[in-house]
Amino acid sequence: MQVSILASGSKGNSVYVELDGTRLLIDAGISAARITRSLRDYGVEPQSLDAVLITHEHIDHVRGLRTLAKQYHLPILATRGTLAAIDGGAAFEDDMRGITDAFSIGDVIVRPFAISHDAADPCGFRIEGSYCCTIATDLGVVTETVQEAMEGADVLVLEANHDADLLRQGSYPWPLKRRILSNRGHLANGDAAWALTRMKKHPRKVYLAHLSEENNRPSLARDTVQEILASRGMTLDIESCLPEGGAGVVM
Protein backbone atom coordinates (compact mmCIF):
# COMPACT_ATOMS: atom_id res chain seq x y z
CA MET A 1 0.00 0.00 0.00
CA GLN A 2 1.10 3.52 -0.76
CA VAL A 3 -0.50 6.53 0.92
CA SER A 4 0.73 9.92 -0.25
CA ILE A 5 -0.56 13.27 0.96
CA LEU A 6 -0.58 15.61 -2.05
CA ALA A 7 -2.02 18.56 -0.12
CA SER A 8 -3.68 19.11 3.24
CA GLY A 9 -5.40 22.05 4.92
CA SER A 10 -7.94 24.77 4.34
CA LYS A 11 -6.36 25.72 1.00
CA GLY A 12 -6.67 22.26 -0.53
CA ASN A 13 -6.80 18.55 0.18
CA SER A 14 -5.85 15.52 -1.88
CA VAL A 15 -4.56 12.07 -0.96
CA TYR A 16 -3.33 9.31 -3.24
CA VAL A 17 -3.85 5.70 -2.14
CA GLU A 18 -2.61 2.70 -4.06
CA LEU A 19 -3.60 -0.69 -2.69
CA ASP A 20 -3.48 -4.14 -4.29
CA GLY A 21 -3.20 -2.64 -7.77
CA THR A 22 -6.07 -0.18 -7.32
CA ARG A 23 -5.22 3.50 -7.64
CA LEU A 24 -7.44 6.03 -5.92
CA LEU A 25 -7.38 9.77 -5.48
CA ILE A 26 -9.30 11.01 -2.47
CA ASP A 27 -10.38 14.62 -3.01
CA ALA A 28 -9.09 17.02 -5.65
CA GLY A 29 -8.86 20.25 -3.70
CA ILE A 30 -5.78 21.62 -5.48
CA SER A 31 -5.41 22.49 -9.16
CA ALA A 32 -5.46 19.65 -11.67
CA ALA A 33 -1.98 20.74 -12.77
CA ARG A 34 -0.66 20.32 -9.22
CA ILE A 35 -2.37 16.95 -8.86
CA THR A 36 -0.88 15.78 -12.15
CA ARG A 37 2.59 17.01 -11.17
CA SER A 38 2.43 15.44 -7.72
CA LEU A 39 1.20 12.09 -9.04
CA ARG A 40 3.94 12.02 -11.67
CA ASP A 41 6.49 12.62 -8.91
CA TYR A 42 5.36 9.19 -7.66
CA GLY A 43 5.48 7.74 -11.16
CA VAL A 44 1.68 7.69 -11.47
CA GLU A 45 -0.10 8.92 -14.59
CA PRO A 46 -3.46 10.53 -13.72
CA GLN A 47 -5.27 8.54 -16.43
CA SER A 48 -4.23 5.34 -14.63
CA LEU A 49 -6.36 6.25 -11.59
CA ASP A 50 -9.25 3.86 -11.10
CA ALA A 51 -11.45 6.50 -9.46
CA VAL A 52 -11.56 9.86 -7.74
CA LEU A 53 -13.39 9.71 -4.41
CA ILE A 54 -14.82 12.96 -3.07
CA THR A 55 -15.56 13.43 0.63
CA HIS A 56 -17.75 16.56 0.22
CA GLU A 57 -18.34 19.56 -1.98
CA HIS A 58 -16.33 22.26 -0.17
CA ILE A 59 -13.92 24.03 -2.51
CA ASP A 60 -10.80 22.84 -0.62
CA HIS A 61 -11.80 19.30 -1.71
CA VAL A 62 -12.97 19.86 -5.30
CA ARG A 63 -11.00 22.83 -6.64
CA GLY A 64 -9.23 20.83 -9.36
CA LEU A 65 -12.03 18.37 -10.06
CA ARG A 66 -13.58 20.04 -13.08
CA THR A 67 -10.30 20.29 -15.00
CA LEU A 68 -9.22 16.83 -13.89
CA ALA A 69 -12.52 15.39 -15.15
CA LYS A 70 -12.24 17.25 -18.43
CA GLN A 71 -8.68 16.04 -19.03
CA TYR A 72 -8.95 12.41 -17.98
CA HIS A 73 -12.64 11.40 -17.72
CA LEU A 74 -12.10 9.45 -14.52
CA PRO A 75 -15.01 7.97 -12.57
CA ILE A 76 -15.90 10.47 -9.83
CA LEU A 77 -17.45 8.75 -6.82
CA ALA A 78 -19.24 10.48 -3.97
CA THR A 79 -22.55 10.42 -2.15
CA ARG A 80 -25.47 11.66 -4.22
CA GLY A 81 -25.82 14.65 -1.90
CA THR A 82 -22.21 15.65 -2.49
CA LEU A 83 -22.41 15.16 -6.26
CA ALA A 84 -25.53 17.33 -6.46
CA ALA A 85 -23.87 20.06 -4.38
CA ILE A 86 -20.61 20.34 -6.35
CA ASP A 87 -20.47 23.79 -7.89
CA GLY A 88 -20.32 23.45 -11.70
CA GLY A 89 -20.69 19.69 -11.40
CA ALA A 90 -23.07 19.54 -14.36
CA ALA A 91 -20.00 19.90 -16.62
CA PHE A 92 -18.82 16.39 -15.71
CA GLU A 93 -22.11 14.74 -14.80
CA ASP A 94 -21.39 11.80 -17.11
CA ASP A 95 -18.36 10.80 -15.04
CA MET A 96 -20.24 10.91 -11.71
CA ARG A 97 -21.25 7.77 -9.84
CA GLY A 98 -23.36 8.07 -6.71
CA ILE A 99 -22.41 5.82 -3.80
CA THR A 100 -24.47 4.81 -0.81
CA ASP A 101 -22.72 1.83 0.71
CA ALA A 102 -19.51 -0.17 0.48
CA PHE A 103 -18.35 -1.03 -3.04
CA SER A 104 -15.36 -2.73 -4.61
CA ILE A 105 -12.86 -1.47 -7.14
CA GLY A 106 -10.55 -4.24 -8.32
CA ASP A 107 -9.48 -6.16 -5.23
CA VAL A 108 -10.16 -3.29 -2.89
CA ILE A 109 -13.29 -2.56 -0.86
CA VAL A 110 -14.14 1.07 -0.22
CA ARG A 111 -16.44 1.81 2.69
CA PRO A 112 -17.77 5.36 2.86
CA PHE A 113 -18.84 6.42 6.35
CA ALA A 114 -20.85 9.43 7.49
CA ILE A 115 -19.07 12.34 9.13
CA SER A 116 -20.52 15.30 11.00
CA HIS A 117 -19.71 18.41 8.95
CA ASP A 118 -21.63 21.36 7.52
CA ALA A 119 -21.89 19.97 3.99
CA ALA A 120 -24.69 18.25 2.01
CA ASP A 121 -23.81 14.61 2.68
CA PRO A 122 -20.15 14.38 3.67
CA CYS A 123 -18.26 11.14 4.27
CA GLY A 124 -14.90 9.66 5.10
CA PHE A 125 -13.45 6.61 3.38
CA ARG A 126 -12.14 3.32 4.70
CA ILE A 127 -10.16 1.49 2.01
CA GLU A 128 -9.62 -2.20 2.67
CA GLY A 129 -7.45 -4.81 0.97
CA SER A 130 -4.25 -6.50 2.11
CA TYR A 131 -3.86 -3.34 4.23
CA CYS A 132 -6.38 -0.81 5.44
CA CYS A 133 -6.34 2.98 5.20
CA THR A 134 -8.96 5.26 6.74
CA ILE A 135 -9.33 8.91 5.84
CA ALA A 136 -11.37 11.03 8.24
CA THR A 137 -11.13 14.79 7.87
CA ASP A 138 -13.63 17.65 8.09
CA LEU A 139 -15.54 16.41 11.08
CA GLY A 140 -16.75 18.34 14.07
CA VAL A 141 -16.88 15.30 16.29
CA VAL A 142 -15.66 11.71 16.27
CA THR A 143 -18.89 9.74 16.28
CA GLU A 144 -19.15 6.04 16.98
CA THR A 145 -19.37 5.49 13.21
CA VAL A 146 -16.07 7.31 12.68
CA GLN A 147 -14.44 5.50 15.58
CA GLU A 148 -15.47 2.16 14.05
CA ALA A 149 -14.13 3.19 10.64
CA MET A 150 -10.78 4.04 12.26
CA GLU A 151 -10.45 0.71 14.06
CA GLY A 152 -7.94 -1.66 12.51
CA ALA A 153 -6.57 0.84 9.99
CA ASP A 154 -2.87 0.43 9.23
CA VAL A 155 -2.67 4.02 8.03
CA LEU A 156 -4.95 6.68 9.42
CA VAL A 157 -5.38 10.16 7.99
CA LEU A 158 -7.16 12.00 10.78
CA GLU A 159 -8.10 15.63 11.06
CA ALA A 160 -6.33 17.71 13.71
CA ASN A 161 -7.59 21.09 12.57
CA HIS A 162 -6.91 23.43 15.42
CA ASP A 163 -5.74 24.04 18.91
CA ALA A 164 -8.93 25.00 20.72
CA ASP A 165 -7.25 27.78 22.73
CA LEU A 166 -5.47 29.28 19.71
CA LEU A 167 -8.79 29.30 17.87
CA ARG A 168 -10.70 30.93 20.75
CA GLN A 169 -8.01 33.61 21.24
CA GLY A 170 -7.31 34.08 17.52
CA SER A 171 -8.47 36.72 15.06
CA TYR A 172 -11.34 34.82 13.39
CA PRO A 173 -14.75 36.47 13.73
CA TRP A 174 -16.96 34.80 16.33
CA PRO A 175 -19.45 33.23 13.86
CA LEU A 176 -16.56 31.48 12.09
CA LYS A 177 -15.06 30.35 15.42
CA ARG A 178 -18.44 29.02 16.45
CA ARG A 179 -18.78 27.13 13.16
CA ILE A 180 -15.34 25.52 13.48
CA LEU A 181 -15.90 24.58 17.13
CA SER A 182 -19.37 23.13 16.49
CA ASN A 183 -20.19 19.45 16.09
CA ARG A 184 -20.42 20.04 12.34
CA GLY A 185 -17.15 21.95 12.05
CA HIS A 186 -13.57 20.77 12.38
CA LEU A 187 -11.77 18.50 14.82
CA ALA A 188 -9.46 19.94 17.49
CA ASN A 189 -6.03 18.43 18.20
CA GLY A 190 -7.20 17.13 21.57
CA ASP A 191 -10.29 15.45 20.14
CA ALA A 192 -8.17 13.71 17.51
CA ALA A 193 -5.89 12.48 20.29
CA TRP A 194 -8.70 11.13 22.45
CA ALA A 195 -10.10 9.25 19.45
CA LEU A 196 -6.67 7.66 18.96
CA THR A 197 -6.55 6.59 22.62
CA ARG A 198 -9.79 4.66 22.08
CA MET A 199 -8.36 2.51 19.26
CA LYS A 200 -7.92 -1.13 20.22
CA LYS A 201 -5.51 -2.01 17.41
CA HIS A 202 -2.84 0.64 17.02
CA PRO A 203 -2.33 2.03 13.51
CA ARG A 204 1.17 1.80 12.09
CA LYS A 205 1.12 5.37 10.87
CA VAL A 206 -1.07 8.35 11.71
CA TYR A 207 -1.18 11.50 9.61
CA LEU A 208 -2.66 14.53 11.32
CA ALA A 209 -4.41 16.34 8.50
CA HIS A 210 -6.32 19.50 7.54
CA LEU A 211 -4.28 21.62 9.99
CA SER A 212 -5.39 25.23 10.21
CA GLU A 213 -2.59 27.60 9.21
CA GLU A 214 -4.03 30.24 11.52
CA ASN A 215 -5.00 28.21 14.59
CA ASN A 216 -2.49 25.37 14.64
CA ARG A 217 1.15 24.46 14.05
CA PRO A 218 2.47 21.12 12.80
CA SER A 219 4.66 20.71 15.90
CA LEU A 220 1.87 21.80 18.26
CA ALA A 221 -0.60 19.33 16.75
CA ARG A 222 1.87 16.46 16.99
CA ASP A 223 3.05 17.34 20.51
CA THR A 224 -0.50 17.77 21.83
CA VAL A 225 -1.53 14.41 20.43
CA GLN A 226 1.63 12.66 21.66
CA GLU A 227 1.19 14.10 25.16
CA ILE A 228 -2.37 12.84 25.44
CA LEU A 229 -1.34 9.43 24.08
CA ALA A 230 1.57 9.30 26.55
CA SER A 231 -0.83 10.03 29.42
CA ARG A 232 -2.50 6.75 28.45
CA GLY A 233 0.79 4.91 28.02
CA MET A 234 0.48 4.92 24.22
CA THR A 235 3.03 5.78 21.56
CA LEU A 236 2.19 5.95 17.87
CA ASP A 237 4.08 6.98 14.75
CA ILE A 238 2.50 10.37 14.15
CA GLU A 239 3.24 12.99 11.53
CA SER A 240 1.57 16.32 10.84
CA CYS A 241 0.67 17.00 7.20
CA LEU A 242 1.90 20.25 5.68
CA PRO A 243 -0.30 22.33 3.33
CA GLU A 244 1.97 21.52 0.39
CA GLY A 245 1.78 17.78 1.11
CA GLY A 246 4.81 15.55 0.67
CA ALA A 247 4.17 13.14 3.53
CA GLY A 248 3.56 9.53 2.70
CA VAL A 249 4.31 5.92 3.38
CA VAL A 250 4.75 2.68 1.47
CA MET A 251 4.17 -0.67 3.18
DSSP state of 176: H
Taking the least distance from each CB to Zn ion, the nearer of 58 and 177 is: 58
In the complex, the smallest distance separating the C-beta of residue 186 from Zn ion, rounded to whole angstroms, is 8
In the complex, the smallest distance separating the C-beta of residue 15 from Zn ion, rounded to whole angstroms, is 12
Counted residue by residue, the chain has a size of 251
* Rg, Å, the chain Cα set: 17
Which residue in 114, 121, 164, 116 sits closest to 139, CA to CA? 116
Taking the least distance from each CB to Zn ion, the nearer of 83 and 105 is: 83
Contacting positions for Zn ion (CB under 5 A): 58, 60, 138
In the complex, the smallest distance separating the C-beta of residue 204 from Zn ion, rounded to whole angstroms, is 25
Taking the least distance from each CB to Zn ion, the nearer of 5 and 229 is: 5
Count Cβ neighbours within 10 Å for each residue of 141-176 and write b for 16 or more, e otherwise. bbbeebeebbbbbbbbbbbbbbbbebbeeeebeeee
In the complex, the smallest distance separating the C-beta of residue 246 from Zn ion, rounded to whole angstroms, is 18
Which residue number places its CB atom closest to Zn ion?
58
CB 56 within 8 A of CB 89: no
Name the burial class of residue 231, with classes exposed (0-12), middle (13-18) and buried (19+) by CB atoms within 10 angstroms of its CB: exposed
Taking the least distance from each CB to Zn ion, the nearer of 156 and 228 is: 156
In the complex, the smallest distance separating the C-beta of residue 121 from Zn ion, rounded to whole angstroms, is 12
CB 157 within 8 A of CB 207: yes
Taking the least distance from each CB to Zn ion, the nearer of 58 and 126 is: 58
